[in-house]
A and B are shown apart, each in its own frame.
Chain A
Amino acid sequence: MDMKRGEPPSDQERLQGSPAAQPGILDLFTAFMGVGLSGFGGVLPFARRMLVDRRRWLSPAEFTEVLGLSQLLPGPNIVNVTIYVGARFAGIPGAAAAFLGLMTMPVIIVLCLGAAYSRYGDLPAVANAFRGVSSAAAGLMVAMAAKIAWPVLRSAPAIVVALLVFVAMAILKVPLVWTVAVLAPVGVIWTWWRTP
């Protein structure tokens, strides 16, 4: 059964539909717990696989729309997607269940790692290992930035705005509030100007 977006199913549809078509609070919790536990350094691809391919809660086009919205809204993208999906299927309780499902295990795991780090981090061998891991993690970030920048930095306005943001944040250490307050409107107005 394919459900129309935004329309709550009638009782008849509810009876006939597959259980996955209208996930309950527990479904949302466990599904997003799976997402939270599967990704390393970003879980959006796993969220897509779960929502679109495995459970079919969203169509590919819907996922793209939700992702687009979540990228415009502030806050972690995956959290926005999670809230959106949870709220759509089960209101505020659904949003809360999906969010807690997403966050609980990663928070517990990362705190255990953190505790181990603060207990053993002073040992010379561990400190040396962390020196290497930190540099490699920086490399992951470099790769991510390169992937994002490659298709974007093709037009002069985009290059200028990105460069100004970089200089403000990395070199001049301007607080983010001021950088965004000044340069986000510049970017948007420039785009608007060039849009026919």
Chain B
Amino acid sequence: MSSDDTLFSLTLHLLLLSLLAIGGVSTILPELHRFIVVDHSWLTNEQFTALFALAQAAPGPNVIFVTLIGWQISGLVGALAATAAMCGPATVIAYAGTRLSAQWQHLKWFKILRSGLVPVTTGLMIASAWLLTAASAQAAPSYAVTAVTALLVLTTRINPLWLLALAAGAGMIGWA
């Protein structure tokens, strides 16, 4: 596949995913992984998880993970195309939504729709956590790093950036 074709099919898929990303970018990680790593082999597991880590280490919305994916696959054009594809449909719909929302809040079906989708987003988040853990694990100590980080986030108020920095150190001396 030529690089133009790659960029085109990546952008097209992200446009579709933009419409399915109910609950944010974290819920489409499994789909991004399936499409980009498993189906097309555009990135390796290692690259995919490293880019996710970079996006976590940079300030800003999680959607910049998609920016990085586009950049890694097709350079600067890819970065901009991927970001626009991921945000474009959503922004148009959100703009339309501004006209409706005030009345929506009181409708019964709005609440049913919302609470009915919560288990779906939850399942997607768990799948995201599972896939990232498996994809980033290169040896047994990797699981320990993942588990310790998760526990510290859940039980303390430590800034996650410190945990990423500590893990970088652990990796460098061969503990991860």
Residue positions of A touching B, CB distance < 8 A:
5-6, 36-43, 65-66, 68-80, 83-84, 87-88, 92, 95, 99, 102-103, 105-107, 109-111, 113-114, 117-118, 121, 125, 128-149, 152-153, 157-159, 161-166, 169-170, 173, 175-177, 180, 183-184, 187-192, 195
Compute how far the CA of A102 lies from the CA of B31 in the bound complex, rounded to whole angstroms.
25
Compute how far the CA of A145 lies from the CA of B27 in the bound complex, rounded to whole angstroms.
10
CB of A76 within 8 A of CB of B63, answer: yes
Q: Which of A135, A187, A190 contacts B146 (CB 8 A)?
A: A135
Which chain A residues lie closer than 8 Å to B170 at the CB level?
132
Which chain B residues lie closer than 8 Å to A134 at the CB level?
46, 49-50, 52-53, 132, 136
Which chain A residues lie closer than 8 Å to B164 at the CB level?
133, 136-137
Against A, the Cβ 8 Å flags (1 = close, 0 = not) of B85-121 are 0110111011101100110110010101111111111
Known: A138-B133, A143-B150, A176-B20. A109 touches B71 (CB 8 A): no
CB of A132 within 8 A of CB of B145, answer: yes
Compute how far the CA of A85 lies from the CA of B128 in the bound complex, rounded to whole angstroms.
29
CB of A114 within 8 A of CB of B71, answer: yes
Closest 7 CB pairs of A and B: A75-B90, A106-B60, A132-B171, A165-B123, A139-B149, A188-B116, A136-B167
| CB closest residue in chain A, given B165 | A133
CB of B95 within 8 A of CB of A92, answer: yes
Q: What is the predominant secondary structure among interface residues of chain B facing chain A?
A: helix
CB of A192 within 8 A of CB of B31, answer: no
Which chain A residues lie closer than 8 Å to B76 at the CB level?
111
A-B contact count (CB 8 A): 370
Which chain B residues lie closer than 8 Å to A140 at the CB level?
56, 149-150, 153, 160, 163
**Is B68 part of the contact surface with A, judged by Cβ < 8 Å?**
yes
Known: A84-B97, A103-B83, A121-B50. A136 touches B163 (CB 8 A): yes
CB of B91 within 8 A of CB of A110, answer: no
CB of A169 within 8 A of CB of B171, answer: no
Q: List 16 A-B contacts (CB under 8 A).
A: A37-B60, A73-B93, A75-B87, A78-B61, A79-B63, A80-B90, A106-B60, A106-B61, A113-B54, A130-B171, A137-B53, A138-B133, A138-B146, A152-B118, A162-B126, A191-B112
Which chain A residues lie closer than 8 Å to B31 at the CB level?
169, 175-176
B152 CB to nearest chain A CB (Å): 8
Compute how far the CA of A152 lies from the CA of B126 in the bound complex, rounded to whole angstroms.
12
Size of the chain B interface, CB-CB below 8 angstroms: 110
**Is B64 part of the contact surface with A, judged by Cβ < 8 Å?**
yes
> Assuming A69-B104, A142-B150, what are 7 further A-B pairs, CB within 8 angstroms?
A43-B61, A117-B51, A131-B136, A133-B167, A162-B120, A170-B130, A184-B120
| CB closest residue in chain B, given A107 | B67
Compute how far the CA of A41 lies from the CA of B161 in the bound complex, rounded to whole angstroms.
9
**Is B34 part of the contact surface with A, judged by Cβ < 8 Å?**
yes
Q: Could you tell me which residues of chain B, from 132 to 173, have a CB within 8 Å of some CB in chain A?
A: 132-133, 135-138, 142-143, 145-151, 153-154, 159-161, 163-164, 166-172
